Amino acid sequence: MTPLQILIKSIKTFFVFIFGFIFIFIFLIVLNLSFFSRSINRPPNYLIETIYNSIKENPYQSKEKINFLILGLDKRDDALEKTTTTDTIIFASLNLKTFKLNLISTPRDLWFYEKETKINGLYPLSLDSKEDKFDFLKSDFEKLYGQPIDHIIVITTDSLISFVNTIGGVDLYLEKGFIDDQYPNPDYIKNPSKDVPIYKTIEFKSGQIHLDQSNITEFVRSRKSAETSAAGGTDIGRIERQQILIEAILNKIRLGKVITDKNQIKNLYFFWNKEISKTLSDIDAFQIALILNENINKISLNKIEIPIGQNAKTGIIYHPLKFINKQWVFITSDDKYQAFQEFVFDKIK
């Protein structure tokens, strides 16, 4: 065999080895994806098709921002309260150029003129509407914010507990501690009795705290710890704590401490698929994840506070001197929300 023949044979062997290695590598990936698809109760080719369709055409690559409406549903049907209102209302705008996540937490008592209700009452109205509930919510909240809403996410208190438990809890720093002696007693809610106190006292001390399934609900729901928001009470104080929690979750994601193994991926998917009501498909979520993948450490949180004044000249929203429909409310400076929309537009640039 001549040296040239030896060289040609060596090259052929090399390429056979390389292509064989690539084939085995791809085969193992496909096998793992198929196995994982079955583990989350999906068809064997589900993940492969999802990834392919996500990569084939990603509409988010051409967008400057993605706007989300996040609603926190605290559904109650007990001795103390019966409601399906969403007392947590967050407009979140993710800028895909600067990777700044702008959060505008909106007070639940803000009056919505078109439907003659507070905005936390729009969700129950959507359930009674002949229209699709998400279309109903999208239309009304777009009128309020003056911004397109790409996706809506509705999370319940129970879902929040499940999520925090799945990711192993959340650590955060609370600058000002608080005591709430009027927190609804879960024991009374489960079994109303004159022998069981209606309310209980909860306390969160200032400093570093750990939130998990044992205390997360109390942290995000408490609003009777003080008479003023500056002291940590009222709905405004509750909004501030919710934003602190979101920031802590984001920090945990940035540090790569949310997903640690395959089981956790599976648990998070079950949570996402079963416990969250949303307009986001798996393909949507994967496409957004592809854009954020290399930029996750660039994401910064911008917590935007809506200025509350004494009247239309001193604030974007304010409490009028009289009740509306016998309800304590905030109102915008005009019934077309023009100043409010200009504020939102300016803050999420």
DSSP per-residue letters across 270-310: HHHHHH-EES--HHHHHHHHHHHHTTGGG-EEEEEPPPEES
Are both 38 and 92 inside the same structural domain? Answer: no
Q: Where are the alpha helices (DSSP H) in the chain?
A: 3-39, 46-56, 122-128, 133-145, 157-166, 186-190, 216-221, 234-254, 262-275, 282-293, 338-347
Are both 44 and 101 inside the same structural domain? Answer: no
**End position of a domain, from candidates 16, 39, 56:** 56
| Separation of CA 165 from chain center | 16
133 vs 119: CA distance, rounded Å: 14
323: part of which helix (H) or strand (E)?
none
Distances (CA, A) of 151 to 8, 65, 97, 226, 299: 58, 12, 19, 35, 19
CATH number assigned to the domain comprising residue 83: 3.40.630.190
Report the number of distinct structural domains present in the chain. 2
**End position of a domain, from candidates 13, 41, 56:** 56
The one-digit pLDDT tens for each residue of the chain (349 residues) are 665 555 555 555 444 444 434 433 333 344 454 555 666 677 767 777 887 888 888 899 889 999 999 999 877 766 666 778 998 999 999 999 999 999 999 999 999 999 999 999 999 999 999 999 999 999 999 999 999 999 999 999 888 889 998 889 999 999 989 999 999 888 888 888 888 888 999 999 999 999 999 999 999 989 877 555 555 557 888 889 999 999 999 888 888 777 777 778 788 888 888 889 999 998 998 899 888 887 888 889 999 999 999 998 899 999 998 889 889 999 998 889 999 999 999 999 8
Are both 65 and 49 inside the same structural domain? Answer: no
CA dihedral 147, 152, 157, 159 (to 10 degrees): -150
Task: Tell me the β-bridge partners of 179.
Answer: 203
CB 29 within 8 A of CB 45: no
Q: In 3D, which of 94, 107, 100, 257 has the Cα closest to residue 169?
A: 257
Are both 78 and 40 inside the same structural domain? Answer: no
Distances (CA, A) of 229 to 217, 223, 233, 334: 19, 9, 5, 24
Which amino acid is it at 86? T
Are both 63 and 196 inside the same structural domain? Answer: yes
Task: Tell me the β-bridge partners of 207.
Answer: 174
Are both 293 and 174 inside the same structural domain? Answer: yes
| Separation of CA 74 from chain center | 14
Range of the domain at 17: 3-56
- 119: its two tokens: 């905005």
Are both 260 and 304 inside the same structural domain? Answer: yes
CB 223 within 8 A of CB 216: no
The phi and psi torsions of 152 (rounded to 5 degrees) equal -120, 135
41 vs 102: CA distance, rounded Å: 35
Are both 69 and 171 inside the same structural domain? Answer: yes
**End position of a domain, from candidates 37, 56, 75:** 56
Are both 263 and 309 inside the same structural domain? Answer: yes
Are both 187 and 45 inside the same structural domain? Answer: no
62 vs 60: CA distance, rounded Å: 5
Beta strands at 65-73 and 151-156: parallel, antiparallel or unpaired: parallel
Are both 44 and 66 inside the same structural domain? Answer: no
Are both 35 and 128 inside the same structural domain? Answer: no
143 vs 317: CA distance, rounded Å: 16
292 vs 154: CA distance, rounded Å: 22
